[in-house]
Structures are given as C-alpha cells and as structure tokens.
Chain A
Amino acid sequence: MEQEKVVIEVNHICKQYKVLKKGEGIKGALKGLVTRESRLVPAVDDLSFQIKAGEIVGFIGPNGAGKSTTIKMMSGILTPTSGEILINGMDIQKKRKEVVRNIGVIFGQRSQLNWDLRLGESYELLRHIYQIDKAQYEETLDVMDQILGIKELLDKPVRQMSLGQRVKGDLVAAMLHSPDVLFLDEPTIGLDISSKYALRKFVKEINEKRKTTIILTTHDLADIEQLCDRLIIINHGHLMEDGNLSEIVNRIAPYKTLVVEYYDEYAPEHDKCELCFHEENVAKYRFGKKEITAARLIEELSAKAQIKDVSIEEAGIDDIIRVAYGQ
C-alpha cells in the first residue's frame, strides 16, 4: 500500500536548554549582572519514532513534557542538540528551505495572520511567499471554503475577528501551500464547542481529501478520541507509549468499570474485582477483562444484593493518561 511511505523519521533526538542560574535576593541579582552561571536542562531525551503518510498522530503528555519542543524541532524552528529528523527523506537541518515548503504549522496561541490586514490580503502575501500559482490557490481556497466557510471572512480585517474565526483563518493560512505535513500545537486551546467541532472536521477532511499527514498536541482528550489513529505519549522528554489508542488502552489499562446501583446501602465485595467507589447506594467495581465477564459479575453480585440499575464504563484515555503520567 502506498500509505506505508514514511514521511517523518525521528532518530534519537535530544534537546537541552541552557537555563541561567539566578541567585536569591539582591546579592544574587547583583552577582547575576557580573557572572552568568548556566546549567543544561534536558527537554527531550533520546526520542525516536516514525510517522507514515496519511496518519493522524496525537502527541500527549503533561505540561513541560517536551511536546512543543518536539513539534518545533520537527517543523524546523528548533535545532536538536543531537539526533536527526528526516522529512520526506530530507534532513531538516540541511535542507531547511526545501523541507519548510512541505510543512504547515499552527500554534494555538500565536497567529500568523497580520493584524492590520484583511484576511484575503494576508493570504495574497502568503501566496507570493510560497510562490503558489493563482489557479492552485483558488482551488485550495474552494476546498477550504467547503470545509470552513472561509470565503465570507476574506474581506474582514483580522483585528475584528473572533478567536474562532481567527483560528479558521490560521488553519487555511497553514494549508495554502498544500503541505504534506501539518503540525498543530494545541490548536483547540480556548475555543468554544462549535469552533472545536469545525477544527476537528477540518483536520479529518483534509486528511481524507488531501492525504495530509497530521501531528497534533493537545490537552483536550476529545480531540484525541475523535481524530487520532495513533497516540504518542511523552513525559519528561521520554517516549512513554506509542501505538493505536485502543491497543494502548488494552495494554496499560485493561479493565472496565461496572457501576451498580443497589436498593440499599450495602454493597457486597467480589474477589475477582476491586470495589473502588462506594457511596450510598452506588458502587463501582473495576475488573480486568481477562478475569471475569461483565455478565458473570452482575449475575454473581445480584445473588448477594438486590440490584436496581447497572452501567459499564470503558477504560478510556483518561485512564491511560493517569497510568502513563503517574510513572
């Protein structure tokens, strides 16, 4: 299958930041004016992975885990301290200008649109910067209009746009030169539900229509659940997990939770599962998928106490994150 082509290859990258040591108090501040001591802090430590054409990969990890640093290195903004990154087989350090033409980047908190201009004027400038011919530009804009309804915004000055409109504008700006790879760094930050929905729809559709490879970082788990085929979890600059969402769930959180409502406050224990929550008439049992089936558990519990209602919660991304971040 053609989809198997590797687009991004990251080999053993490390990134250390130099942090200036500052002394305490006035004495320390005065000392800092004369001598500058610094120490190296590792942000990313020996990270390796490959991403194939057409994948949507979610990068997750707690704040300060090295997600943004990794994205910046992959998009050519930062130079790794060691290791190499190949995009379409080209080393991003050595062929930066060529590689950058094939990359689109969106930073949730920074806009690349020009504040004083109308949106269309910003696009016209980008069209020249990336040397996109007029016909192709119009075609891209038509596609974007179908997904996001961008054409009605073209004449609006960016300063007058709402955050949601600006994010739409930024998404289209990053896609104008039809990059093979799109990096999204916390794109949904601060957006309302409908803007989030528009963004997710955008990501899905450009992935389907243009086969764009997408890498996104987020703290919004719904983004991951709805979009990503694959999940990469980083913490302390290390790769913690890499794989399919359900596969990771099965591996590191292979359990379900049974929520039972009884008629009275007594909740019986069961030796094949863990009673993890009990308040008034409601009890929650966490059980391993291999240990016992849900039907069997309900049957055995109902023999001990009268059950009014049951529901089953699948282990989700929250559980993975709890386990993975906890390590």
Chain B
Amino acid sequence: MSRAGIRVYLQVYKTQIIRSMTYKFEVYGNILMQSIIMLASAYFWKALFKNSDTVKGVDVDTMLIYTVVSAMISVVLTCNVERRIMTSVDKGTIAIDMMRPVNVFGVFLAEDIAGITALVFQNMLPILVIGCLFIKLPTPAGPAHFALFLVSLFMAFWINWLIACMFGMIAFWTLNMDALIQVKKHLIRLLSGSIIPLWFFPAWLRNILEWLPFAYLYQLPLDLYIGKYPVSSAQCQRGLCVQLLWLVLLTMGFLFLQKRVTSKVMIQGG
C-alpha cells in the first residue's frame, strides 16, 4: 500500500477517535456493566473454591486473575463492524462508501481499531483499577507466557474482527439481523470461555469446541496468561497452531466474500 493510502486510514483512525469521545454516557454504562459481571464472577469462584484448594488444576487466585483478564480482553474484542455494515446497507449509504477511492473494509477496520484505542483508556484501565482494588492484581504466569499471550491476543483480535465482518456481510442478503447479532454475541460469550473456562465443560463438548474458532478468542489467550500449560507443552503449541489455522481460513473466507459483496452492491445499488 502506498504511503498516501496509509495516511487515509490514519485519518479515518483519528476521526473515529474524535467520534468515540462523543458518547460519554455509553462509556460509563459499559464500565458499570463489565464491573458487575466481573465482580459477580469473582464472588462466584470464591464461593465455589471454598471447600477445595484446586479444581481442574487451578487454584482460586488463578481463577480470579482469569476473571479480571477476561474482562480486559473483552475490550480488545469489541467491534462495531457488523452494525456499521448493517446500518450502511439499511440506509443505503453503503453505495456512497463504496464509491470512494478507498477500500471500504479498510475504513471499517481503521474505525474499529480507533474504537478499541479509545476503549483502552475509557474501559480497560478503569476495569483494571476496579479489578486490582476489589479482586486481585492480575499478574501473568511468567514473561514467556505473557509474550505468547500477546501473540495469541493479537490473533484473537483478527479472528474476532473477521468473524464479525463476515457476519455483517450477511446484511447484503437479509436486511434485518439484530436478532442474529444477539445470538452470536451470547454464543461467543458461552462457547469462548469468557465467563466459564472450557475445562469445566464435559469432555465431548470440549473436544468439539477445541476445533471451533470461539475458544481461540478468550480461552487460549487466558490459558497462556495464567500459565495453565507450560510454554513448551503440546497443548500450547497445538492451540496456537489451530488459532493460526483459523486466522488463515477466515482471512480466505473474508477475501472471497468481499469480492462477492462488492459485485452484489454493484448489481443492486444502494
């Protein structure tokens, strides 16, 4: 990409950060909701671990760290791209978006990264502070674990964004998908390990989930952070490999759909 091209997306990024500052009320609401979920899960784990030191090889402190870090990861995995596509298609402005000499999905991506940047300050830091004060200081298992966690989180961001973006593309075929978005959101919540770690699930379900992309949004990065498996273990390597595989598959799917969607707009008009 040319330098001038990158500058376009940088400007989109800057502009979007300005926009994110507009909605203060939403930000406070989000912090409140995240904190409640986080505190509730923390007390839930404390109660559960009362009679035993470890469950499935983890102790209560690790579980509390898991809870705080999970809330922080949810900030990195926020994206607006599905709604953005849906409203653009619904209002017909998608035609104008696509008429400009830039890649419209590049613009959506820049907007989402900007949104996350704003949320790191508006949401993640407050959650970290509340987590430290009321639950536990979330220290990673070790430097190697933390490094792998960052790699895995980076891939998790992409997997999440690509799923959301392709999901949003459904809007080109069926217009209203509010309900679908809700279903997807709750499925991810349940099947990704964001609230309940997948190790607590029955083995048959766990075996299935290990091959679905959801576990690679929360479960794998969290496992790496708390040091569930040693860095050199087979589980660790296999996890990262499957995550990478999903990233590649989803990227290919995205590129395929992007072409079809563009021609779809060209045929139907906004």
Residues of chain A having any CB pair with chain B under 8 Å = 17, 69, 72, 75-79, 97, 100-101, 103, 105, 107, 110-112, 114, 116-117, 121, 124-125, 128-131
> Which of B95-103, B197-205, B242-250 contacts the other chain?
B95-103
Bound form: Cα–Cα A131–B8 in Å: 8
Smallest Cβ-Cβ distance to B20: which chain A residue: A116
Q: How far is the CB of A68 from chain B (nearest CB, A)?
A: 8
Question: Any chain A CB within 8 A of the CB of B253?
Answer: no
Establish whether residues A100 and B15, one from each chain, have CB atoms under 8 Å apart when the complex forms. Answer: no
Establish whether residues B93 and A112, one from each chain, have CB atoms under 8 Å apart when the complex forms. Answer: yes
Q: How far is the CB of B188 from chain A (nearest CB, A)?
A: 27
Bound form: Cα–Cα A24–B4 in Å: 54
Establish whether residues B102 and A77, one from each chain, have CB atoms under 8 Å apart when the complex forms. Answer: no
> Could you say which residues of chain B place their CB within 8 Å of the CB of A128?
7-8, 10-12
> Could you say which residues of chain B place their CB within 8 Å of the CB of A78?
266-269
Q: How far is the CB of A123 from chain B (nearest CB, A)?
A: 11
Establish whether residues B19 and A114, one from each chain, have CB atoms under 8 Å apart when the complex forms. Answer: yes
Question: Any chain A CB within 8 A of the CB of B255?
Answer: no
Smallest Cβ-Cβ distance to B11: which chain A residue: A128
Task: Pick from B11, B99, B269: contact of A100, CB below 8 A.
Answer: B99
Smallest Cβ-Cβ distance to A43: which chain B residue: B269
Bound form: Cα–Cα A110–B90 in Å: 12
Q: How far is the CB of A41 from chain B (nearest CB, A)?
A: 13
> Could you say which residues of chain B place their CB within 8 Å of the CB of A117?
15, 18-19
Bound form: Cα–Cα A77–B92 in Å: 11
Q: List the count of A-B residue pairs having beta carbons below 8 Å apart.
A: 67
CB within 8 Å of A: which B227-270 residues:
263, 265-270
> Could you say which residues of chain B place their CB within 8 Å of the CB of A131?
4, 8
Count B interface residues, CB 8 Å. 27
Bound form: Cα–Cα A129–B265 in Å: 21
Establish whether residues B18 and A76, one from each chain, have CB atoms under 8 Å apart when the complex forms. Answer: no
> Could you say which residues of chain B place their CB within 8 Å of the CB of A121?
15, 18
Establish whether residues A125 and B101, one from each chain, have CB atoms under 8 Å apart when the complex forms. Answer: no
Establish whether residues B99 and A105, one from each chain, have CB atoms under 8 Å apart when the complex forms. Answer: yes
Offer 15 A-B interface pairs, CB within 8 angstroms, sorted by A. A69-B269, A77-B266, A79-B267, A100-B100, A110-B91, A110-B93, A110-B96, A121-B18, A124-B11, A124-B15, A128-B10, A129-B11, A129-B101, A130-B100, A130-B101
Smallest Cβ-Cβ distance to A131: which chain B residue: B4
Bound form: Cα–Cα A107–B93 in Å: 10
> Could you say which residues of chain A place their CB within 8 Å of the CB of B270?
72, 77, 110
Q: How far is the CB of A70 from chain B (nearest CB, A)?
A: 11
Establish whether residues B266 and A79, one from each chain, have CB atoms under 8 Å apart when the complex forms. Answer: yes
Establish whether residues B96 and A125, one from each chain, have CB atoms under 8 Å apart when the complex forms. Answer: no
Task: Pick from B96, B266, B267: contact of A105, CB below 8 A.
Answer: B96
Q: Identify the 5 closest CB pairs spanning chains A and B, nearest first.
A: A128-B11, A79-B266, A78-B269, A116-B19, A77-B95
Bound form: Cα–Cα A112–B92 in Å: 10
11 A-B pairs besides A116-B22, A128-B7, A131-B8 with CB distance below 8 A are A72-B270, A77-B99, A77-B266, A78-B267, A78-B269, A100-B99, A100-B100, A110-B96, A110-B270, A129-B11, A129-B100
Bound form: Cα–Cα A174–B204 in Å: 58
Task: Pick from B7, B8, B91, B269: contact of A77, CB below 8 A.
Answer: B269
> Could you say which residues of chain A place their CB within 8 Å of the CB of B263?
79
> Could you say which residues of chain B place their CB within 8 Å of the CB of A17?
268
> Could you say which residues of chain B place their CB within 8 Å of the CB of A130?
100-101
> Could you say which residues of chain B place their CB within 8 Å of the CB of A100?
99-101
